[in-house]
Amino acid sequence: MSETLPRIGSALLVRDEANRILLGQRSKDPQKGSWVIPGGKIHAFERIAEAAAREIEEETGLTVEVGDQFGVYEIINPPNEHRIVIYSWGKVTEGTPKASDDLSEARFFSVEELGDVPLTPLVRRVLEDAGLLRNREPQITYEKAQLNFLLFPVPLAGAQVRRSPGRRRGFQGSRGKGKRQIANVPMLFE
């Protein structure tokens, strides 16, 4: 196994002024001929947004503004491929798309056109999750389904217990007049 795995990349769902989505057609293997969301490797000490903007400019010649992150996806094909790709939203600020050596073509597609474009499985999933492919049922992944099981109240250490008026201290069983409540405690994450 390679010491350089997993590779971490940054890609952008770029929209133009007509609200179309930028895709590039791969000119190399793997996935030669398929349309992908442009992006690439994050270099050491490079921010996610910086990597995405650099890759878009290198691959398509466009200058973009990077927005919020959309999601993180993982590709695992042992023994040689393990990639983590961070997708963000972006919009064109300048330029016309021109393909680089990694792409044979770069162009914008309307949401209506996306369903007919030959996409890699990952790109199809990303576009579906982003709500950009029509006539697709939302897919609930195992990871998303697990969230339903993780949502339950958790007593917090240091929380104070308040008793409703009229409740005596000590064990009351189910006959006590008041109910115990946990006070709101601010949570800090550093």
pLDDT in tens, 37-64: 999 999 999 999 999 999 999 999 999 9
Q: Could you give the C-alpha distances from 164 to 7, 140, 173, 185, in angstroms and in order?
A: 55, 42, 15, 18
pLDDT in tens, 105-123: 999 999 999 989 999 999 9
CATH architecture of 7-139: Alpha-Beta Complex (3.90)
- Report the C-alpha gap between 166 and 181 in whole angstroms: 14
